[in-house]
């Protein structure tokens, strides 16, 4: 395994130094030290890895151009609405946590909304995929029809069944 | 511990805002293509099913955000009205039925005729 982004190494080094520093020099009993050390280490790791992902996206190495694209081309409405709902619920959750400092309760209606949105995306993907399967099984219109015995054994036929 | 809480808050704001800014900038400058978002499944047509889904999704999302901004110190996420959930569910169902009809309908008729 190779680590291409130097920020990952920086994150690991910073997390180790923070853990050592707090563990040795921070005041308090061992349990408090452990809590603070774990908190700072997790924060440093998650933050630097998140920044690394953002930099990869910004530089274009992590390609988002197909984020909303359908398989056959064009933008996908089901992907777009899932993106909107995810951002709105995520932003709402974050705003409340930032304001109150506590984890808010999530009502069943919000989960239902997210479920509806994600199910629409999944069903839409299924419809598109099944349409592609049908079109790839259909014979080309200009090709002459071959006799049934000429089909190789086990190959799928145009009607969806398989040769015995 | 208070410093850790403050730092976590700042780090989350930076990461979340950074990701949101990147995605929305790409959406606006065409880095993430939105072309064909309202196009029908046949070339050159307009899809009413997609348009109504966009309208209800955007309205519902904006309405929910306004609800959150109205009381950001609440102990739970706001309860969306049951009518909104039904409306968005119905809108998505209409979109899916329309898409299934447009994409799979031709194949079903072709198989019946042959």
Q: Could you tell me the two tokens for A52?
A: 């690394």
3-state secondary structure of A161: coil
DSSP secondary structure of A8-72? HHHHHHHHHHHHHHHHHH--S-HHHHHHHHHHHHHHHHHHHHHHHHHHHHHHTSS--TTTTB-TT
Which residues on chain A are in Cβ contact (under 8 Å) with B61?
A: 84-85, 88
What is the tens place of the pLDDT at every residue in A74-85? Answer: 888 889 999 999
| A123 to B76: CB separation less than 8 angstroms, yes or no | no
Q: If you measure CA to CA, which chain A residue comes closest to B10?
A: A98
In angstroms, the CA B70 to CA B49 distance is 32
CB atoms B12 and A98 under 8 Å = yes
Q: For B15, which of A47, A93, A130 is closest by C-beta distance?
A: A47
Task: Give every CB contact of residue A103 below 8 A, 6+ residues apart in sequence.
Answer: A97
Pairwise CA distance, residues B82 & B57, whole Å: 15
Neighboring chain B residues of A99 at a CB cutoff of 8 Å: 72-73
Please determine, for residue A8, whether its predicted confidence score (pLDDT) is greater than 90.
Answer: no
Chain A: give the shortest CA distance to residue B90, in Å. Answer: 10
Q: A69 Cβ partners below 8 Å, 6+ apart?
A: A75, A76, A79, B33
- Which residue carries 């995929």 as its tokens? A129
The predicted complex's ipTM stands at 0.82
Query: Is the model's pTM score more than 0.90?
Result: no
- State whether A116 and B88 contact (CB < 8 Å): yes
pLDDT in tens, A32-53: 888 888 888 888 888 888 988 8
């Amino acid at each position: 395994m190779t680590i291409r982004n130097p920020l990952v190494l920086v994150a690991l080094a910073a997390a180790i130094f923070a853990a050592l520093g707090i563990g040795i020099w921070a005041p308090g009993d061992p349990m408090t030290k452990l809590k603070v050390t774990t908190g700072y280490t997790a924060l440093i790791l998650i933050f630097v890895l998140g920044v690394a992902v953002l930099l990869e996206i910004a530089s274009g190495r992590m390609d988002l151009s197909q984020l909303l694209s359908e398989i056959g081309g064009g933008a996908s409405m089901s992907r777009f609405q899932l993106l909107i709902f995810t951002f709105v619920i995520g932003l709402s959750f974050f705003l409340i946590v930032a304001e109150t400092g506590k984890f808010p309760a999530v009502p069943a209606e919000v989960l239902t909304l997210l479920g509806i949105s994600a199910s629409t995306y999944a069903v839409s993907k299924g419809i598109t995929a099944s349409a592609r399967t049908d079109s790839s099984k259909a014979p080309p219109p200009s090709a002459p029809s071959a006799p049934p015995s000429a089909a190789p054994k086990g190959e799928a036929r145009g009607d969806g069944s398989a040769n015995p | 511990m208070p410093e850790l809480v403050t730092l976590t808050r700042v780090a989350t704001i930076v990461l979340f805002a950074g990701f949101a800014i990147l995605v929305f900038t790409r959406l606006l400058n065409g880095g993430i293509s939105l072309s064909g978002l309202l196009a029908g499944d046949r070339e050159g047509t307009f899809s009413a099913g997609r348009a109504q889904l966009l309208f209800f999704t955007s309205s519902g999302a904006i309405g929910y955000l306004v609800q959150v901004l109205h009381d950001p110190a609440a102990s739970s996420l706001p309860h969306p009205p049951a009518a909104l959930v039904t409306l968005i569910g119905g809108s998505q169902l209409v979109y899916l039925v329309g898409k299934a009809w447009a994409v799979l309908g031709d194949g079903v008729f072709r198989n019946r005729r042959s």
